[in-house]
Amino acid sequence: MNRPRLITMLAVLGIAVFVLSLLIGPARIGPVTSIEALIAGGNEAAMIIMREIRLPRALLAVLIGFSLGVAGAALQGLLRNPLAEPGIIGISASASLGAVLLFYTGLAGASLLALPAGALTGAALCVLVLLVISAAQASTITLILAGVALASLAGALTSLVLNLSPNPYASYEIIFWLLGSLKDRTMDHVWLVIPLMVVGWAALWASSRTLDALSLGEEGASGLGANIPRARVLVVCGVALCVGAATAVSGAIGFIGLIVPHLVRPLTNRLPSQLLLPAGLGGAALLTIADIVARTIIPDRELNVGVVTALIGAPFFLWLVIRSRRELF
């Protein structure tokens, strides 16, 4: 498929599910009234529901889905490994740990933005460690292994916090948050993540030509004049901004960053740089769809979107692996 057509199709799909997402919710508001209330105001109850509940939710699904898709595609390019996903370098686990610690200390309730701040601090500390390691050891393998170790450590510490948690209610709150959700988010959350994500996207995009060159291996790429240490820093920081911001407002949402690049890659010429934008658009559409499913599949009860992405994602990934072994490895 040619590139402009692919991008147009994915963008149209994304916009369609975005609008659909705006029209879905427990309050029975007709489609026309919904859109009217969103744009023009008028009916006050409908306006509040549209502007303060549904719009931030739909926007966050798009922003987070886009970020996870791009981050997954860039990491797979840098690590030259189709199994890489944003979680592999420990960012999401560290961000989760940061948030969980705030629950534990009770600071989470202090302000709407306390939780995101905790998660971002966790992600930032993880990046700092990764950067120090990758500066000292000029190797991408070291970067992956350090990331895996950090992810395990953050996971273990999260379990420890759960273990020490003072009361069952706090544990429940932590577990619920860890499952990932877009429920009850506000425009403040949207404004918080946008600048972080935009800088993250820019960093990933800036590394895209080096990622192409890396298709020939590190030696081949550096012979083409690619600055690999610079690309490593750009990708680590870009992924950290994207995934750290995403985890900060939604909790951990898995599988989008892993699956979407695989779904979209066969429709591109398979060069990493050509995959970034389609993977972002695909991620935005897929997370929005998953969020619609999470809200509608069981009447009067909402699932966590992280549960839905894992439930759809894991079997789907298995199917992809079986169907296209050659493509993957």
- Taking CB under 8 A as the criterion, the residue among 195, 217, 298, 315 binding another protein is 217
Asked if 224 interacts with another protein (CB under 8 A), we say yes
CA-based radius of gyration for the chain:
20
Asked if 222 interacts with another protein (CB under 8 A), we say yes
**Which CB, 223 or 315, lies closer to another protein?**
223
CB of 312 to another protein, least distance (A): 25
CB of 327 to another protein, least distance (A): 6
- Using the rule CB under 8 A, give the single segment among 67-75, 111-119, 190-198, 211-219 that binds another protein: 211-219
Asked if 41 interacts with another protein (CB under 8 A), we say no
Both tokens assigned to 209: 């030509």
| DSSP type of residue 267 | G
Site for another protein in 66-105 (CB under 8 A): 80
Asked if 300 interacts with another protein (CB under 8 A), we say no
CB of 328 to another protein, least distance (A): 10
Three-class secondary structure of residue 288 per DSSP: helix
Asked if 312 interacts with another protein (CB under 8 A), we say no
- Cα angle, residue 298 at apex, residues 96 and 43 outer, rounded to 5°: 90
Asked if 321 interacts with another protein (CB under 8 A), we say no
Q: Are 61 and 122 in contact (CB under 8 A)?
A: no
Asked if 142 interacts with another protein (CB under 8 A), we say no
Total chain residues near another protein (CB under 8 A) = 23
Three-state secondary structure string covering 69-122: HHHHHHHHHHHCCCCCCHHHHCHHHHHHHHHHHHHHHCHHHCCCCHHHHHHHHH
Asked if 220 interacts with another protein (CB under 8 A), we say yes
CB of 274 to another protein, least distance (A): 9
**Which CB, 73 or 294, lies closer to another protein?**
73
- Using the rule CB under 8 A, give the single segment among 58-66, 120-128, 184-192, 210-218 that binds another protein: 210-218
Helices assigned H by DSSP within the chain: 3-23, 31-40, 44-48, 55-79, 91-105, 114-136, 140-164, 168-178, 187-206, 208-213, 217-223, 228-250, 256-264, 272-296, 305-323, 325-328
Nearest to 89 by CA among 219, 194, 207, 241: 241
Q: Are 55 and 189 in contact (CB under 8 A)?
A: no
- Taking CB under 8 A as the criterion, the residue among 65, 181, 212, 305 binding another protein is 212
Which residue ranges make up the site for another protein (CB under 8 A)? 80, 209, 212-217, 219-220, 222-227, 265, 269-272, 326-327
